Structure 1
Amino acid sequence: MKKITFLICLIATTLIQAQSTKQIFESPNLKEAISSHKTVAVLPFKSTISYKRLPKNFNPETNAQEEKKSALSLQSGLYTYLLRKSSDYSVTVQDPERTNVLLKQSGNFDKIDDLTPDALAKILGVDAVIKCTYAYQKTGSEGGAIVKSLLIGFGTGKVATSDLTMNIYNAKDGDLLWRFYKQMDEDVMSNPQAMMEHMMRKVGRNFPYEKS
Protein backbone atom coordinates (compact mmCIF):
# COMPACT_ATOMS: atom_id res chain seq x y z
CA MET A 1 0.00 0.00 0.00
CA LYS A 2 2.82 2.37 0.89
CA LYS A 3 4.51 1.63 -2.43
CA ILE A 4 1.29 2.41 -4.33
CA THR A 5 0.81 5.67 -2.41
CA PHE A 6 4.42 6.68 -3.09
CA LEU A 7 4.03 5.87 -6.78
CA ILE A 8 0.85 7.97 -7.03
CA CYS A 9 2.58 10.92 -5.33
CA LEU A 10 5.60 10.57 -7.62
CA ILE A 11 3.40 10.56 -10.73
CA ALA A 12 1.40 13.55 -9.49
CA THR A 13 4.60 15.48 -8.77
CA THR A 14 5.97 14.65 -12.21
CA LEU A 15 2.74 15.83 -13.87
CA ILE A 16 2.74 19.08 -11.93
CA GLN A 17 6.36 19.76 -12.87
CA ALA A 18 5.68 18.92 -16.51
CA GLN A 19 2.73 21.32 -16.62
CA SER A 20 4.62 24.18 -14.99
CA THR A 21 7.79 24.27 -17.05
CA LYS A 22 8.69 27.95 -17.15
CA GLN A 23 11.92 29.89 -17.59
CA ILE A 24 12.48 33.64 -17.42
CA PHE A 25 15.55 35.72 -18.25
CA GLU A 26 15.95 39.40 -17.43
CA SER A 27 18.89 41.47 -18.59
CA PRO A 28 20.70 43.48 -15.90
CA ASN A 29 19.92 46.53 -18.08
CA LEU A 30 16.22 45.70 -18.42
CA LYS A 31 14.70 48.42 -16.21
CA GLU A 32 17.00 51.14 -17.51
CA ALA A 33 16.40 50.21 -21.15
CA ILE A 34 12.59 49.92 -21.04
CA SER A 35 12.20 53.15 -19.06
CA SER A 36 12.60 55.10 -22.32
CA HIS A 37 10.49 52.79 -24.51
CA LYS A 38 7.31 54.27 -25.97
CA THR A 39 6.31 51.87 -28.76
CA VAL A 40 6.95 48.16 -29.31
CA ALA A 41 6.06 45.88 -32.22
CA VAL A 42 4.95 42.25 -32.17
CA LEU A 43 6.51 40.39 -35.09
CA PRO A 44 4.73 37.52 -36.87
CA PHE A 45 5.36 34.39 -34.82
CA LYS A 46 7.71 31.68 -35.99
CA SER A 47 5.20 28.85 -35.77
CA THR A 48 5.78 25.14 -36.29
CA ILE A 49 3.22 22.34 -36.31
CA SER A 50 4.40 18.75 -35.91
CA TYR A 51 2.95 15.35 -35.08
CA LYS A 52 4.12 12.61 -32.77
CA ARG A 53 2.77 10.25 -35.41
CA LEU A 54 2.15 11.59 -38.89
CA PRO A 55 -1.51 11.21 -39.94
CA LYS A 56 -2.20 9.16 -43.05
CA ASN A 57 -3.44 12.19 -44.96
CA PHE A 58 -0.49 14.42 -43.97
CA ASN A 59 0.43 16.96 -46.65
CA PRO A 60 3.66 18.98 -46.18
CA GLU A 61 2.38 21.91 -48.27
CA THR A 62 -0.89 22.10 -46.33
CA ASN A 63 1.03 21.89 -43.07
CA ALA A 64 3.31 24.75 -44.15
CA GLN A 65 0.24 26.86 -45.00
CA GLU A 66 -1.22 26.11 -41.56
CA GLU A 67 2.05 27.23 -39.95
CA LYS A 68 1.93 30.57 -41.79
CA LYS A 69 -1.72 31.03 -40.84
CA SER A 70 -0.90 30.20 -37.24
CA ALA A 71 2.00 32.70 -37.21
CA LEU A 72 -0.31 35.59 -38.13
CA SER A 73 -3.16 34.39 -35.92
CA LEU A 74 -0.88 34.23 -32.88
CA GLN A 75 0.59 37.66 -33.68
CA SER A 76 -2.92 39.10 -33.87
CA GLY A 77 -3.97 37.28 -30.71
CA LEU A 78 -1.03 38.61 -28.72
CA TYR A 79 -1.69 42.15 -29.96
CA THR A 80 -5.38 41.91 -29.03
CA TYR A 81 -4.52 40.72 -25.54
CA LEU A 82 -1.97 43.50 -24.99
CA LEU A 83 -4.35 46.09 -26.45
CA ARG A 84 -7.12 44.98 -24.12
CA LYS A 85 -4.82 45.51 -21.15
CA SER A 86 -3.06 48.60 -22.56
CA SER A 87 -3.87 50.69 -19.49
CA ASP A 88 -1.73 48.31 -17.44
CA TYR A 89 1.36 48.78 -19.62
CA SER A 90 3.84 51.62 -20.01
CA VAL A 91 4.18 51.22 -23.80
CA THR A 92 1.99 51.34 -26.88
CA VAL A 93 1.91 48.25 -29.07
CA GLN A 94 2.06 48.90 -32.81
CA ASP A 95 -0.87 47.59 -34.84
CA PRO A 96 0.29 44.34 -36.50
CA GLU A 97 -1.23 45.44 -39.81
CA ARG A 98 1.19 48.36 -39.88
CA THR A 99 4.02 46.09 -38.74
CA ASN A 100 3.39 43.58 -41.51
CA VAL A 101 2.92 46.23 -44.22
CA LEU A 102 6.23 47.86 -43.29
CA LEU A 103 7.94 44.46 -43.38
CA LYS A 104 6.46 43.72 -46.81
CA GLN A 105 7.34 47.16 -48.19
CA SER A 106 10.95 46.65 -47.14
CA GLY A 107 10.97 43.15 -48.67
CA ASN A 108 11.62 41.50 -45.32
CA PHE A 109 8.29 39.93 -44.37
CA ASP A 110 9.62 36.43 -45.08
CA LYS A 111 13.18 37.25 -43.97
CA ILE A 112 12.68 38.16 -40.32
CA ASP A 113 15.25 35.62 -39.16
CA ASP A 114 17.82 37.10 -41.56
CA LEU A 115 17.75 40.51 -39.87
CA THR A 116 19.03 41.61 -36.48
CA PRO A 117 16.44 42.86 -33.96
CA ASP A 118 17.80 46.43 -34.12
CA ALA A 119 17.51 46.40 -37.93
CA LEU A 120 13.89 45.21 -37.65
CA ALA A 121 13.13 47.89 -35.06
CA LYS A 122 14.55 50.56 -37.40
CA ILE A 123 12.31 49.38 -40.25
CA LEU A 124 9.28 49.43 -37.97
CA GLY A 125 10.14 52.68 -36.18
CA VAL A 126 9.76 51.24 -32.68
CA ASP A 127 11.79 51.15 -29.47
CA ALA A 128 11.69 47.36 -29.11
CA VAL A 129 10.51 44.27 -30.95
CA ILE A 130 8.75 41.25 -29.48
CA LYS A 131 9.85 38.13 -31.28
CA CYS A 132 8.07 34.86 -30.51
CA THR A 133 8.33 31.22 -31.49
CA TYR A 134 5.53 28.73 -30.99
CA ALA A 135 6.03 24.99 -31.44
CA TYR A 136 2.90 22.84 -31.48
CA GLN A 137 3.09 19.05 -31.47
CA LYS A 138 -0.04 16.96 -31.75
CA THR A 139 0.30 13.95 -29.49
CA GLY A 140 -3.14 12.31 -29.45
CA SER A 141 -6.39 11.89 -31.32
CA GLU A 142 -9.22 14.35 -30.77
CA GLY A 143 -11.81 11.56 -30.75
CA GLY A 144 -10.10 9.74 -27.91
CA ALA A 145 -9.53 12.99 -26.02
CA ILE A 146 -13.21 13.95 -26.26
CA VAL A 147 -14.26 10.58 -24.85
CA LYS A 148 -11.77 10.96 -22.02
CA SER A 149 -13.04 14.46 -21.23
CA LEU A 150 -16.63 13.26 -21.11
CA LEU A 151 -15.83 10.26 -18.92
CA ILE A 152 -13.32 11.85 -16.54
CA GLY A 153 -13.88 15.57 -16.84
CA PHE A 154 -12.94 18.62 -18.88
CA GLY A 155 -9.27 19.51 -18.89
CA THR A 156 -8.22 15.87 -19.19
CA GLY A 157 -8.50 15.54 -22.98
CA LYS A 158 -4.91 16.40 -23.86
CA VAL A 159 -4.26 16.34 -27.59
CA ALA A 160 -1.03 18.31 -27.93
CA THR A 161 1.89 20.05 -26.27
CA SER A 162 3.07 23.54 -27.09
CA ASP A 163 6.19 25.55 -26.38
CA LEU A 164 6.10 29.35 -26.33
CA THR A 165 9.24 31.48 -26.34
CA MET A 166 8.87 35.25 -26.19
CA ASN A 167 11.88 37.55 -26.57
CA ILE A 168 12.01 41.34 -26.21
CA TYR A 169 14.92 43.06 -27.97
CA ASN A 170 16.12 46.62 -27.52
CA ALA A 171 15.99 48.75 -30.68
CA LYS A 172 19.05 50.78 -29.75
CA ASP A 173 21.55 47.93 -29.74
CA GLY A 174 19.56 44.77 -30.53
CA ASP A 175 20.30 43.31 -27.09
CA LEU A 176 18.01 40.70 -25.58
CA LEU A 177 16.28 42.38 -22.63
CA TRP A 178 13.77 39.74 -21.57
CA ARG A 179 13.00 36.13 -22.43
CA PHE A 180 10.06 33.99 -21.38
CA TYR A 181 9.67 30.28 -22.07
CA LYS A 182 6.63 28.19 -21.21
CA GLN A 183 5.63 24.64 -22.06
CA MET A 184 1.93 23.82 -21.96
CA ASP A 185 -0.55 21.04 -22.61
CA GLU A 186 -3.35 21.76 -25.06
CA ASP A 187 -6.83 20.38 -24.39
CA VAL A 188 -9.22 19.12 -27.04
CA MET A 189 -11.69 21.86 -26.06
CA SER A 190 -9.20 24.69 -26.58
CA ASN A 191 -9.24 27.14 -29.52
CA PRO A 192 -6.74 29.79 -30.73
CA GLN A 193 -8.36 32.55 -28.62
CA ALA A 194 -8.45 30.41 -25.48
CA MET A 195 -4.91 29.24 -26.16
CA MET A 196 -3.59 32.81 -26.41
CA GLU A 197 -5.50 33.79 -23.29
CA HIS A 198 -3.97 30.83 -21.46
CA MET A 199 -0.48 31.68 -22.65
CA MET A 200 -0.73 35.37 -21.85
CA ARG A 201 -2.03 34.75 -18.34
CA LYS A 202 1.28 32.98 -17.77
CA VAL A 203 3.26 35.77 -19.46
CA GLY A 204 1.27 38.61 -17.89
CA ARG A 205 2.49 37.94 -14.38
CA ASN A 206 6.04 38.64 -15.54
CA PHE A 207 5.63 41.03 -18.51
CA PRO A 208 8.28 43.74 -17.97
CA TYR A 209 6.17 46.62 -19.31
CA GLU A 210 3.48 46.20 -16.67
CA LYS A 211 3.15 49.35 -14.59
CA SER A 212 4.21 48.98 -10.98
Structure 2
Amino acid sequence: MKRKTILLGLFVLAVWVISGCATVYKTSELETSGENYKTIAILPFEVTVQYNRLPKNVTSEQIRENEYELGFVFQNQIYNRFLQKKHKFAVNFQDVDKTNMMLRRNQIDIYNLGEFSKDELARLLEVDEVISAHVITSKPMSTGAALAVGILFDIWGPTNTAEVTVSLHSGKNSELLWRFNHVYSGGVGSSPEQLTHAMMGPVSRKFPYKS
Protein backbone atom coordinates (compact mmCIF):
# COMPACT_ATOMS: atom_id res chain seq x y z
CA MET A 1 0.00 0.00 0.00
CA LYS A 2 2.80 2.41 0.88
CA ARG A 3 4.56 1.71 -2.42
CA LYS A 4 1.33 2.33 -4.33
CA THR A 5 0.86 5.63 -2.51
CA ILE A 6 4.38 6.76 -3.42
CA LEU A 7 3.88 5.78 -7.05
CA LEU A 8 0.54 7.61 -7.17
CA GLY A 9 2.16 10.74 -5.76
CA LEU A 10 4.92 10.58 -8.38
CA PHE A 11 2.34 10.09 -11.11
CA VAL A 12 0.31 13.10 -9.96
CA LEU A 13 3.43 15.27 -9.84
CA ALA A 14 4.45 14.09 -13.30
CA VAL A 15 1.03 15.01 -14.65
CA TRP A 16 1.38 18.49 -13.19
CA VAL A 17 4.72 18.90 -14.98
CA ILE A 18 3.85 17.48 -18.40
CA SER A 19 1.39 20.08 -19.59
CA GLY A 20 2.81 21.99 -22.54
CA CYS A 21 4.64 25.28 -22.90
CA ALA A 22 4.21 28.35 -20.76
CA THR A 23 3.55 31.83 -22.10
CA VAL A 24 6.07 34.41 -20.90
CA TYR A 25 6.02 38.18 -21.39
CA LYS A 26 9.06 40.34 -20.67
CA THR A 27 9.42 44.06 -21.25
CA SER A 28 12.63 45.34 -22.79
CA GLU A 29 13.01 47.62 -19.76
CA LEU A 30 14.10 44.62 -17.71
CA GLU A 31 17.40 44.42 -19.53
CA THR A 32 18.57 47.72 -18.03
CA SER A 33 16.51 48.08 -14.87
CA GLY A 34 17.81 45.15 -12.83
CA GLU A 35 20.55 47.12 -11.08
CA ASN A 36 17.99 49.62 -9.77
CA TYR A 37 15.84 47.05 -8.02
CA LYS A 38 16.85 45.58 -4.71
CA THR A 39 13.83 44.07 -2.95
CA ILE A 40 10.73 42.32 -4.27
CA ALA A 41 7.59 41.57 -2.24
CA ILE A 42 5.37 38.56 -2.99
CA LEU A 43 1.70 39.32 -2.44
CA PRO A 44 -0.86 36.76 -1.29
CA PHE A 45 -2.20 34.92 -4.33
CA GLU A 46 -5.66 35.51 -5.70
CA VAL A 47 -7.25 32.05 -5.93
CA THR A 48 -10.48 31.19 -7.72
CA VAL A 49 -12.11 27.76 -7.34
CA GLN A 50 -14.52 27.43 -10.24
CA TYR A 51 -17.75 25.44 -10.27
CA ASN A 52 -20.67 25.44 -12.66
CA ARG A 53 -22.77 24.69 -9.61
CA LEU A 54 -21.91 23.95 -6.00
CA PRO A 55 -21.85 20.29 -4.97
CA LYS A 56 -24.54 19.20 -2.55
CA ASN A 57 -23.94 20.31 1.07
CA VAL A 58 -21.08 22.63 0.05
CA THR A 59 -21.64 26.33 0.65
CA SER A 60 -20.18 29.32 -1.14
CA GLU A 61 -18.71 30.35 2.24
CA GLN A 62 -16.68 27.11 2.35
CA ILE A 63 -15.34 27.74 -1.14
CA ARG A 64 -14.52 31.34 -0.24
CA GLU A 65 -12.69 30.18 2.89
CA ASN A 66 -10.77 27.68 0.78
CA GLU A 67 -9.74 30.36 -1.71
CA TYR A 68 -8.61 32.67 1.11
CA GLU A 69 -6.51 29.97 2.76
CA LEU A 70 -4.93 28.87 -0.50
CA GLY A 71 -3.89 32.45 -1.25
CA PHE A 72 -1.50 32.44 1.71
CA VAL A 73 -0.39 28.84 1.16
CA PHE A 74 0.69 29.62 -2.40
CA GLN A 75 2.38 32.83 -1.29
CA ASN A 76 4.46 30.94 1.27
CA GLN A 77 5.22 28.12 -1.13
CA ILE A 78 6.57 30.34 -3.90
CA TYR A 79 8.54 32.43 -1.38
CA ASN A 80 10.19 29.28 0.00
CA ARG A 81 11.00 28.10 -3.53
CA PHE A 82 12.63 31.43 -4.36
CA LEU A 83 14.67 31.24 -1.14
CA GLN A 84 15.95 27.81 -2.15
CA LYS A 85 17.18 29.34 -5.41
CA LYS A 86 18.24 32.66 -3.89
CA HIS A 87 21.82 32.25 -5.12
CA LYS A 88 20.56 32.40 -8.70
CA PHE A 89 19.05 35.88 -8.43
CA ALA A 90 20.53 39.34 -7.95
CA VAL A 91 17.56 40.59 -5.92
CA ASN A 92 16.16 40.09 -2.43
CA PHE A 93 12.70 38.73 -1.67
CA GLN A 94 10.93 40.31 1.27
CA ASP A 95 9.90 37.88 4.01
CA VAL A 96 6.22 37.12 3.43
CA ASP A 97 5.49 37.43 7.16
CA LYS A 98 6.70 41.01 7.00
CA THR A 99 4.73 41.59 3.79
CA ASN A 100 1.51 40.32 5.36
CA MET A 101 2.08 42.24 8.59
CA MET A 102 2.52 45.51 6.71
CA LEU A 103 -0.58 44.80 4.62
CA ARG A 104 -2.64 44.18 7.76
CA ARG A 105 -1.40 47.42 9.32
CA ASN A 106 -2.83 49.22 6.31
CA GLN A 107 -6.14 47.29 6.42
CA ILE A 108 -5.29 45.44 3.21
CA ASP A 109 -6.05 41.76 2.71
CA ILE A 110 -6.67 39.33 -0.14
CA TYR A 111 -10.18 40.67 -0.67
CA ASN A 112 -9.22 44.28 -1.33
CA LEU A 113 -5.73 43.97 -2.83
CA GLY A 114 -7.19 44.80 -6.22
CA GLU A 115 -8.25 48.24 -5.00
CA PHE A 116 -4.61 49.34 -4.84
CA SER A 117 -2.19 49.92 -7.70
CA LYS A 118 1.08 48.01 -7.67
CA ASP A 119 3.11 51.16 -7.06
CA GLU A 120 0.89 52.02 -4.07
CA LEU A 121 1.48 48.56 -2.63
CA ALA A 122 5.22 48.80 -3.29
CA ARG A 123 5.40 52.10 -1.38
CA LEU A 124 3.42 50.67 1.54
CA LEU A 125 5.65 47.59 1.62
CA GLU A 126 8.84 49.63 1.11
CA VAL A 127 9.98 47.51 -1.83
CA ASP A 128 11.01 48.15 -5.41
CA GLU A 129 8.76 45.65 -7.18
CA VAL A 130 5.88 43.33 -6.37
CA ILE A 131 4.99 39.82 -7.49
CA SER A 132 1.30 39.04 -7.73
CA ALA A 133 -0.38 35.87 -8.93
CA HIS A 134 -3.75 34.42 -9.81
CA VAL A 135 -4.56 30.72 -9.68
CA ILE A 136 -7.81 29.48 -11.21
CA THR A 137 -8.44 25.87 -10.21
CA SER A 138 -11.27 23.53 -11.10
CA LYS A 139 -11.19 21.62 -7.80
CA PRO A 140 -10.27 22.28 -4.15
CA MET A 141 -6.74 21.34 -3.14
CA SER A 142 -5.76 19.16 -0.21
CA THR A 143 -5.19 21.72 2.49
CA GLY A 144 -7.27 22.88 5.45
CA ALA A 145 -10.82 23.74 4.44
CA ALA A 146 -10.33 22.14 1.03
CA LEU A 147 -9.33 18.84 2.62
CA ALA A 148 -12.45 18.81 4.77
CA VAL A 149 -14.69 19.69 1.85
CA GLY A 150 -13.07 17.12 -0.41
CA ILE A 151 -13.28 14.26 2.06
CA LEU A 152 -16.71 14.97 3.51
CA PHE A 153 -18.47 15.62 0.27
CA ASP A 154 -16.33 13.64 -2.18
CA ILE A 155 -16.07 16.45 -4.73
CA TRP A 156 -12.56 15.74 -5.94
CA GLY A 157 -12.89 14.38 -9.43
CA PRO A 158 -10.39 12.27 -11.39
CA THR A 159 -8.71 15.39 -12.80
CA ASN A 160 -7.81 18.83 -11.59
CA THR A 161 -6.65 21.81 -13.64
CA ALA A 162 -5.06 25.06 -12.56
CA GLU A 163 -4.31 28.13 -14.65
CA VAL A 164 -1.43 30.02 -13.07
CA THR A 165 -0.49 33.62 -13.84
CA VAL A 166 2.50 35.16 -12.05
CA SER A 167 3.24 38.85 -12.68
CA LEU A 168 6.05 41.23 -11.76
CA HIS A 169 5.23 44.95 -11.60
CA SER A 170 7.38 48.00 -11.11
CA GLY A 171 7.01 49.82 -7.82
CA LYS A 172 7.61 53.15 -9.55
CA ASN A 173 4.75 53.27 -12.02
CA SER A 174 2.97 49.88 -11.84
CA GLU A 175 4.41 48.91 -15.23
CA LEU A 176 4.12 45.20 -16.03
CA LEU A 177 7.71 44.01 -16.31
CA TRP A 178 7.29 40.24 -16.59
CA ARG A 179 4.45 37.71 -16.69
CA PHE A 180 4.29 33.91 -16.66
CA ASN A 181 1.10 32.07 -17.63
CA HIS A 182 0.47 28.34 -17.83
CA VAL A 183 -2.30 25.77 -17.44
CA TYR A 184 -1.42 22.70 -15.37
CA SER A 185 -3.31 19.42 -15.16
CA GLY A 186 -3.22 17.14 -12.13
CA GLY A 187 -5.12 14.37 -10.42
CA VAL A 188 -6.80 13.37 -7.19
CA GLY A 189 -4.94 14.73 -4.19
CA SER A 190 -3.29 17.57 -6.08
CA SER A 191 -1.98 20.09 -3.57
CA PRO A 192 -0.50 23.61 -3.51
CA GLU A 193 2.87 22.02 -2.71
CA GLN A 194 2.75 19.83 -5.82
CA LEU A 195 1.57 22.65 -8.05
CA THR A 196 4.19 25.09 -6.74
CA HIS A 197 6.93 22.50 -7.17
CA ALA A 198 5.85 21.96 -10.78
CA MET A 199 5.56 25.63 -11.65
CA MET A 200 8.74 26.87 -9.96
CA GLY A 201 11.02 25.06 -12.40
CA PRO A 202 9.91 27.08 -15.43
CA VAL A 203 9.19 30.20 -13.35
CA SER A 204 12.72 30.33 -11.93
CA ARG A 205 14.25 29.63 -15.35
CA LYS A 206 12.27 32.45 -16.94
CA PHE A 207 12.38 34.89 -14.03
CA PRO A 208 14.62 37.94 -14.65
CA TYR A 209 17.48 39.33 -12.57
CA LYS A 210 19.73 36.31 -12.72
CA SER A 211 22.92 36.76 -10.72
- TM bucket (normalised to shorter chain) is 0.7 to 0.9
What does 1:148-187 align with in structure 2 at a 5 Å threshold?
Answer: 158-187=158-187
Paired amino acid for 1:204: S
2:20 corresponds to: 20
Q: Distance in 2 between matches of 1:137 and 1:121?
A: 31
2:125 corresponds to: 124
SS of equivalent residue, structure 1 residue 185:
strand
2:204 corresponds to: 204
8 Å contact kept, 2:160–2:190: no
Deviation of the 1:53 alpha carbon: 5.6
In structure 2, relative to structure 1, the CA distance for the partners of 1:158 and 1:204 (3 Å cut) is farther
Structure 2: gaps spanning 5 or more residues? 1-17, 141-149, 152-156
8 Å contact kept, 1:52–1:137: no
Rg larger for? 1
Q: Which is worse superposed, 100-109 or 186-195?
A: 186-195
2:35 corresponds to: 35
Paired amino acid for 1:193: E
Q: Distance in 2 between matches of 1:185 and 1:209?
A: 29
What TM-score results when the alignment is normalised by the length of structure 2? 0.79
CA offsets 1:100-152 (integer angstroms, 9 cap, x no match)? 1101111222421011100100000001000100100139xx99xxxxxxxxx
What does 1:78-97 align with in structure 2 at a 5 Å threshold?
Answer: 78-97=78-97
Paired amino acid for 1:122: R
**Percent of aligned pairs with the same residue?**
30
Q: Distance in 2 between matches of 1:43 and 1:60?
A: 24
Structure 1: gaps spanning 5 or more residues? 1-17, 144-156
